[in-house]
Amino acid sequence: MRYVQLAAFSVLLAIGQFLFKKAAMAGAAQPLPWAFINGWMFAALTLYGGATLLWVWVLRTTPLSVAYPFAALAFVIVPLGAAGFLGESVNVRQLLGIALIVSGILVSNL
């Protein structure tokens, strides 16, 4: 169950990054500070608040040395999701980095 919660935390972080990107794109034509005041930003901050609560909940029963590597899963999910949902490209170097991150998470948690 703990690993499901840790994976959920990483997914929430990644979704928050997509929402921050949408907020930035939505506010691109607006002057500061109004560029940051939109529904996407509100959704991103709300999601990050929920992710923080989940993180603290998980840390009640999970050693930080076990839990923290899972935060790196967001570095895997974000580029792949950006390619799938935002049309951004992923190059071979990024894919190699993703493979190394996944390997590190597996090695540190086996």
The pLDDT tens digits for 33-83 are 888 899 999 999 999 999 999 999 999 999 998 899 888 999 999 999 999
The pLDDT tens digits for 21-44 are 999 999 888 888 888 899 999 999
- Nearest to 21, CA basis, from 63, 82, 74: 82
- Nearest to 101, CA basis, from 78, 67, 80, 72: 72
- Nearest to 24, CA basis, from 48, 41, 42: 41
The structure tokens listed for 61 are: 């029963």
- The residues spanned by each domain of the chain are 2-109
